C-alpha cells in the first residue's frame, strides 16, 4: 500500500481533503437497531500500517455499497463523515468512526493486501483453547476445514430451536478441533465453505497424482505411489465467505508441497497399535494415530490419513480418517449432506483440560452433562 495518502490516524473530525487507502478488514452482517427501525452495517477498515477504524453504513446505503465494499479488497476512501465515538462505546469502537454515505467517494484499487490483513491476526494454538473456556475473550484460530458435519437442529435450555453445524478444523500440527456454527452462520458461511470446498477439491483432483492401494498376502496394507503432504496452509482467519473466496482464488487456501520423504508408504499390521477399519472397497486395514496428511488417489477417492513417523524406519504408519468421493461431492444429489464419508474411527479430538468442553468426542458425555450452558 503506497504512502501518498493519509493514514487513518491523520483523519479527525473536521479534517478536509483527505484520502485514505484501506482494506475492508471486517464486514458484519446488516442489522436492525434494537431501539429503532434503523438498519445499519459496520465495517472495519485497515490502513497500510494496520490501524483500523469502524465505518458504518445506514439504511439504503447498505445495499447501495454492498458490491462496492468487499471484504479483503482495497479502496481509496475520501469524504466519509468522521465523528468522535459516543463515549459509551469508545472501548469497543475506537475514538473515531466513519459514516459512509452517498457523499463518500470510494475507488477500488487493484491491490492484494491479504498478507497485511493476515499479519494483524494473532492466532491462538488449538492446545491453548482450554484457557479461554468460559471467558468472553475474542480469539482467532487458523486451521483447515477437513470435514463438515450435517446441519442439525438443537434445542436450547430455554426451548428455543437453533440450527447448528459442526466443522472440523485441523492445524499445522494436525490437531483437530470442532467448530460449531450457529444460526445465520449455517446459512451463510457454512454454505459458502461447502461450495468452495467442492470447487477447490475438484480442481485438486485433476492435479493429483495417482496412488494405488493393495494388500499383500501377509495382509500388510500398502499405499503406493506419489502423493502430496499438506504442509502449509496459509491463512484465512475469518469465517466470512468473501475473504475465504479471495484466499482460494489466490491459492492460499491449501498449499501442498510434494514430500520426498514419503514416496512410498506402507502400513504394517502390528495389531496392538492399530484399530481395524474397513475402507469403502471393503478392504480391511488397521489404523494408528498422530499427524495427518491428505492423499489423493484417483478420480474417485481421496484418502485422508493420519501418519506417524517411525523412528529408525523410513516407513510411515497411517490412519485413514475418511474417504472423500469426488463424484458424490460434485453432484447435486448430495446437496445439504456432509461432503465427506467417514469410515472407521472418527477423528479423535483433544481432551479438554478445564471447564466446559470446547472439544467434542463421542465419549465426553460425562463431561458435557456437567457443563453449564
Partner DNA sequence: CCCCCCCC
Q: Return residues touching DNA (CB under 7 A).
A: 28, 33-36, 38, 40, 42, 54, 56, 58-59, 83, 85-86, 89, 92-93, 97, 99, 101, 136, 154-157, 160, 162, 164, 166, 180, 182-183, 373
Nearer to DNA, 82 or 248 (CB): 82
- Taking the complex as a whole, the smallest distance from the CB of residue 167 to DNA amounts, in Å, to 10
Nearer to DNA, 183 or 299 (CB): 183
Nearer to DNA, 41 or 196 (CB): 41
- Taking the complex as a whole, the smallest distance from the CB of residue 147 to DNA amounts, in Å, to 15
Nearer to DNA, 27 or 306 (CB): 27
Q: Name the burial class of residue 315, with classes exposed (0-12), middle (13-18) and buried (19+) by CB atoms within 10 angstroms of its CB.
A: middle
- Taking the complex as a whole, the smallest distance from the CB of residue 360 to DNA amounts, in Å, to 8
Nearer to DNA, 154 or 202 (CB): 154
- Taking the complex as a whole, the smallest distance from the CB of residue 77 to DNA amounts, in Å, to 16
Nearer to DNA, 157 or 272 (CB): 157
- Taking the complex as a whole, the smallest distance from the CB of residue 108 to DNA amounts, in Å, to 23
Nearer to DNA, 125 or 134 (CB): 134
- Taking the complex as a whole, the smallest distance from the CB of residue 238 to DNA amounts, in Å, to 13
Let me know: does 286 contact 235? Beta carbons within 8 Å: no
- Taking the complex as a whole, the smallest distance from the CB of residue 236 to DNA amounts, in Å, to 20
Nearer to DNA, 337 or 371 (CB): 371
Let me know: does 18 contact 62? Beta carbons within 8 Å: no
- Taking the complex as a whole, the smallest distance from the CB of residue 35 to DNA amounts, in Å, to 6
Amino acid at each position: 500500500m503506497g504512502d501518498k495518502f493519509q493514514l487513518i490516524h491523520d483523519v479527525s473530525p473536521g479534517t478536509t481533503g483527505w484520502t485514505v487507502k484501506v482494506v475492508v478488514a471486517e464486514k458484519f452482517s446488516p442489522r436492525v437497531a434494537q431501539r429503532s427501525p434503523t438498519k445499519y452495517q459496520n465495517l472495519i477498515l485497515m490502513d497500510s500500517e494496520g490501524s483500523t477504524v469502524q465505518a458504518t453504513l445506514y439504511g439504503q446505503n447498505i445495499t447501495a455499497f454492498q458490491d462496492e465494499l468487499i471484504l479483503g479488497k482495497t479502496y481509496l476512501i475520501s469524504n466519509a463523515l468522521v465523528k468522535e465515538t459516543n463515549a459509551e462505546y469508545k472501548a469497543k469502537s475506537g475514538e473515531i468512526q466513519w459514516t459512509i454515505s452517498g457523499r463518500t467517494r470510494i475507488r477500488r484499487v487493484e491491490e492484494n493486501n491479504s498478507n497485511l490483513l493476515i499479519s494483524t491476526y494473532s492466532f491462538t494454538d488449538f492446545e491453548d483453547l482450554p484457557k479461554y473456556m468460559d471467558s468472553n475473550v475474542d480469539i482467532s484460530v487458523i486451521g483447515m476445514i477437513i470435514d463438515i458435519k450435517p446441519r442439525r437442529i438443537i434445542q436450547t435450555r430455554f426451548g428455543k430451536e437453533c440450527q447448528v453445524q459442526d466443522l472440523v478444523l485441523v492445524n499445522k500440527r494436525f490437531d483437530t478441533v470442532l467448530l460449531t456454527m450457529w444460526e445465520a452462520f449455517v446459512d451463510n458461511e457454512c454454505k459458502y465453505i461447502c461450495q468452495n470446498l467442492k470447487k477447490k477439491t475438484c480442481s485438486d483432483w485433476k492435479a493429483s497424482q495417482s496412488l494405488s492401494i493393495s494388500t499383500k498376502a501377509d495382509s500388510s496394507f500398502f499405499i503406493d505411489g506419489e502423493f502430496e503432504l499438506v504442509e502449509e496452509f496459509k491463512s484465512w482467519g475469518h469465517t466470512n465467505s468473501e475473504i475465504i473466496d479471495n484466499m482460494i482464488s489466490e491459492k492460499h487456501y491449501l498449499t501442498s508441497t510434494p514430500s520426498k520423504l514419503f514416496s512410498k508408504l506402507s502400513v504394517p499390521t502390528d495389531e496392538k497399535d492399530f484399530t481395524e477399519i474397513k475402507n469403502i472397497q471393503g478392504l480391511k486395514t488397521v489404523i494408528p494415530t498422530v499427524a495427518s496428511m491428505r492423499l489423493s488417489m484417483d478420480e474417485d477417492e481421496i484418502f485422508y490419513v493420519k501418519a506417524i513417523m517411525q523412528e529408525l524406519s523410513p516407513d510411515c504408519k497411517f490412519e485413514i480418517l475418511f474417504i472423500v468421493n469426488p463424484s458424490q461431492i460434485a453432484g447435486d444429489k448430495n446437496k445439504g449432506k456432509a461432503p465427506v464419508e467417514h469410515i472407521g474411527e472418527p477423528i479423535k479430538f483433544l481432551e479438554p483440560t478445564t471447564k466446559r468442553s470446547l472439544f467434542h468426542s463421542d465419549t465426553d458425555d460425562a463431561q458435557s452433562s456437567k457443563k453449564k450452558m
